[in-house]
């Protein structure tokens, strides 16, 4: 050992290392105290600000913060007084090992001032120790402070990092179990060191209880604690201050009440610091009291500290003690009305059970007598003799007797009038009856206006649906108002002709006709009752719309007229054929020249008296009535004799027949397939208008010399 110490030289440590000093030692570091005794100089340096991060056994917070680098696993830190604080060096201001104390070689040889040290100058590898002036078989390394005092001995081994040991009073020891305090070897308290003013209690470092300047400090047991400089028993498991005490019987720490303690049935009143008895289980403030008989906490009534009994209360707003109204409190704007009913004051007045307070936006707080048991507003009155509350009649405040009533501001007589419900209209009785807004009075009869009406003079009639009607009208089912036919009514399947005659409608037809002249046959065809006689033959006639037509072609024999094919039987079937002048009963010269000057508005021609040759416009009226020219053929053609094309439906009884055509030269064609009929209209001097019916009805003009059928129309 002596040989090795002689080989090793002191390590000169940077003055900057001394800046992180703990002059009295580090109580938490067993090594710091051991080395503090060997330090002869605290040391100062301009580099003191470089090393402010020494913590007990711990390393610097971050060696990089001071520009350093850890030296492998051997980490050392020296305090300003030369005390070894941690195992940490920072290599920027590091240490190398040399033979000569104070010499600081560079990398592996030579002496270089410490200001030129660089990283890598220090290594703890056993293989490199020889190049630093140590033999490879060195047993330990000694680290000195600047006064060449020994700080640490590190034993060498074959590993790169030498094991560590410490020296205390010349004795090497294991710092994992002991620490050096004032050159005295002391056993660690668990893993902690402690000072001469501390002791080890079951592995926990404790301060002695006391002060060296006052009296001798003392240790204490686990059931005790140090309060200031005085040993006290724990309160259960709790400590307490000199301003607290351990409450007897509860082992609960409490604050002194001033300087007094108190029991479990007491408390310390906040604000007064006086010991008070609990109110049941409740505490209370200096503005409260414990009410006798109830053990309830109550606020004092007013700032003068008035208490009150359970039959009393402190009135809000006035802070006056009042007797309860039965079991109820009341505010300053209320009073207790006998027997024990809380009421609002009427302004500032009280009132009895037979009175009330009348108050509104109009009348403010007036005491009134009840009307029987009822109150009433400023717009009401108590009716004399009945003790009933009534509204004033009108805004002028009219009162009225029991033989009267008010109807929307008007006073009525109960024996002759009533106020109609829903309308508030003053009405006279209907006889002796009242009626509603949905009813009306007709003479002395009440009727429902949704079902009946009053027809002048005072006759109640059923409404026609929702419509009224006059005495010259009636209600035809279903709910259609009709004029009386004279003085007769009629049903929906009838009609009134000329305001005199009632007739039956003909099937689906709606034409109005003289029932004395026409009759309905074969379901829905309207015929003249009496046939028309002309030239010894009888012709039936039918009503179509507003027109009455003969039901067959004219078979009136005039000079020049012919039967189709000169066959007399065809005249029986189709009637005779006429040129235009014959039909119009003009001279034959009218076939070559215009005879418009001889035309009449309804030109009779060869038709019976009261009948005429139809104009083109009258033919158009017929066509339009039956649905138009395209359907006229179907509805106007007879149901037989149209073999070459097709028979019609003859819906109206017109019975159009295919009489064909004949030329002036005696040529015949078209019978059985086409019918031609003259119109009364000329078309130039030698042509005239005619109608042709096959499948449809067509309007054409042609030579007046052609021979066509004639159908007459009633004037």
Q: What is the pLDDT of residues 551-571, one digit of tens each?
A: 999 999 999 999 999 999 999
Share of the chain above pLDDT 90, in %: 45
- Model confidence at 100: pLDDT above 70: no
Of 41-50, 62-71, 677-686, minimum mean pLDDT range = 41-50
Separation of alpha carbons 129 and 100, rounded Å: 14
Mean pLDDT of 67-95: 34
- Model confidence at 154: pLDDT above 70: no
Residue-wise pLDDT for 271-309, tens only, equals 889 999 999 899 999 899 999 888 999 999 988 889 999
- Model confidence at 509: pLDDT above 50: yes
DSSP letter for 11, please: P
What is the model's pLDDT at position 91? Answer: 30
- Model confidence at 64: pLDDT above 60: no
Residue-wise pLDDT for 400-438, tens only, equals 988 888 998 899 999 999 999 988 899 999 989 999 988
Mean pLDDT of 33-56: 31
What is the model's pLDDT at position 167? Answer: 58
Residue-wise pLDDT for 369-392, tens only, equals 999 999 999 889 999 888 999 998
Q: Any idea where the domains of the chain sit in the sequence?
A: 2-187, 198-233, 345-391, 429-462, 532-714
Measured from the Cβ of residue 575, the count of other Cβ atoms closer than 10 Å reads 25
Residue 231: pLDDT band (50, 70, 90) is: confident
pTM: 0.45
Residue 213: pLDDT band (50, 70, 90) is: low
The terminus-to-terminus CA distance of the chain in angstroms comes to: 168
Please check whether residue 251 is in contact with residue 264, taking contact to mean a CB–CB distance below 8 angstroms. Answer: no
Residue 210: pLDDT band (50, 70, 90) is: confident
Q: Which residue's structure tokens are 């509350």? A: 389
Residue 248: pLDDT band (50, 70, 90) is: confident
- Model confidence at 626: pLDDT above 90: yes
Mean pLDDT of 439-468: 90
- Model confidence at 350: pLDDT above 80: yes
DSSP string, 308-331: --TTEEEETTTTEEEE-BTTB---
Please check whether residue 238 is in contact with residue 253, taking contact to mean a CB–CB distance below 8 angstroms. Answer: yes
Separation of alpha carbons 15 and 81, rounded Å: 10
Tell which residue, 147, 183, 141, 137, has the closest CA to residue 165.
141
Residue-wise pLDDT for 6-40, tens only, equals 222 222 222 222 223 323 333 333 333 233 223 32
């Amino acid at each position: 050992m002596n040989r090795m110490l002689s080989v090793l030289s002191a390590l000169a440590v940077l003055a900057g290392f001394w800046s992180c000093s703990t002059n009295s030692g580090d109580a938490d570091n067993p090594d710091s105290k051991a080395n503090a005794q060997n330090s002869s100089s605290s040391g100062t340096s301009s580099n003191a600000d470089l090393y402010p991060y020494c913590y007990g056994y711990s390393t610097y917070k971050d060696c990089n913060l001071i520009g350093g680098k850890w030296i492998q696993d051997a980490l050392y830190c020296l305090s300003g007084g030369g005390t070894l604080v941690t195992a940490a060096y920072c290599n920027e201001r590091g240490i190398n090992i040399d033979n000569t104390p104070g010499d600081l070689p560079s990398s592996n040889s030579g002496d270089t001032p410490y200001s030129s040290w660089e990283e890598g100058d220090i290594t703890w590898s056993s293989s490199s120790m020889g190049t630093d002036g140590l033999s490879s078989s060195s047993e330990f390394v000694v680290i000195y402070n600047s006064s060449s005092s020994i700080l640490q001995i590190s034993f060498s081994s074959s590993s790169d990092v030498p094991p560590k040991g410490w020296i205390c009073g010349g004795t090497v020891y294991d710092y994992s179990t002991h620490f050096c305090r004032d050159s005295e070897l002391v056993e660690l308290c668990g893993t902690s060191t402690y000072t001469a003013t501390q002791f080890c209690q079951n592995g926990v470092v404790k301060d002695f209880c006391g002060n060296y300047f006052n009296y001798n400090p003392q240790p204490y047991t686990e059931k005790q604690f140090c309060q200031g400089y005085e040993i006290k028993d724990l309160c259960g498991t709790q400590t307490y201050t000199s301003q607290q005490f351990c409450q007897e019987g509860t082992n609960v720490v409490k604050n002194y009440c001033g300087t007094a303690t108190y029991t479990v049935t007491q408390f310390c009143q906040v604000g007064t610091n006086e010991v008070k008895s609990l109110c049941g289980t409740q505490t209370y403030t200096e503005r409260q009291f414990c009410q006798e008989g109830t053990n309830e906490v109550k606020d004092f009534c007013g700032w003068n500290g008035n208490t009150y009994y359970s039959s009393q209360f402190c009135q809000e707003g006035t802070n006056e003690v009042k007797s309860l109204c039965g079991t109820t409190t009341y505010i300053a704007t209320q009073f207790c009305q006998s027997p024990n009913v809380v009421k609002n004051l009427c302004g500032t007045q009280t009132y009895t059970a037979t009175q009330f307070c009348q108050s509104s936006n109009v009348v403010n707080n007036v005491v009134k007598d009840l009307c029987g048991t009822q109150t009433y507003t400023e717009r009401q009155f108590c009716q004399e003799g009945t003790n009933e509350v009534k509204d004033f009649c009108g805004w002028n405040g009219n009162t009225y007797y029991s033989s009267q009533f008010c109807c929307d501001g008007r006073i009525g007589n109960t024996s002759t009038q009533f106020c109609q419900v829903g309308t508030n209209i003053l009405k006279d009785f209907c006889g002796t009856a009242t009626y509603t807004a949905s009813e009306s009075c007709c003479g002395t009869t009440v009727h429902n206006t949704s079902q009946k009406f009053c027809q002048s003079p005072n006759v109640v009639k059923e409404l026609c649906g929702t419509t009224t009607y006059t005495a010259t009208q009636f209600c035809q089912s279903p709910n259609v108002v009709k004029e009386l036919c004279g003085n007769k009514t009629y049903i929906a399947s009838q009609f009134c002709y000329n305001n005199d005659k009632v007739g039956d409608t003909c099937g689906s037809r709606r034409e109005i006709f003289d029932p004395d002249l026409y009759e309905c046959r074969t379901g829905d065809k309207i015929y003249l009752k009496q046939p028309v006689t002309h030239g010894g033959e009888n012709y039936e006639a039918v009503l179509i719309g507003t027109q009455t037509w003969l039901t067959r072609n004219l078979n009136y024999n005039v000079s020049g007229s012919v039967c189709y094919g000169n066959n007399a039987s065809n005249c029986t079937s189709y009637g005779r054929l006429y040129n235009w002048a014959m039909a119009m009963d003009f001279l034959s010269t009218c076939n070559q020249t215009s005879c418009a000057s001889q035309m009449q508005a309804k030109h009779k021609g060869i038709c019976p008296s009261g009948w005429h040759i139809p104009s083109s416009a009258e033919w158009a009226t017929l066509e339009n009535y039956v649905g138009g020219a395209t359907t006229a053929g179907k509805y106007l053609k007879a149901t037989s004799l149209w073999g070459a094309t097709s028979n019609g439906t003859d819906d109206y009884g017109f019975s159009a027949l295919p009489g064909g055509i004949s030329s002036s030269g005696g040529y015949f064609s078209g019978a059985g397939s086409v019918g031609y009929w003259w119109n009364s209209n000329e078309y130039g001097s030698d042509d005239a208008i005619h109608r042709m019916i096959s499948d449809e009805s067509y309007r054409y003009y042609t030579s007046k010399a052609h021979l066509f059928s004639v159908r007459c129309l009633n004037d």
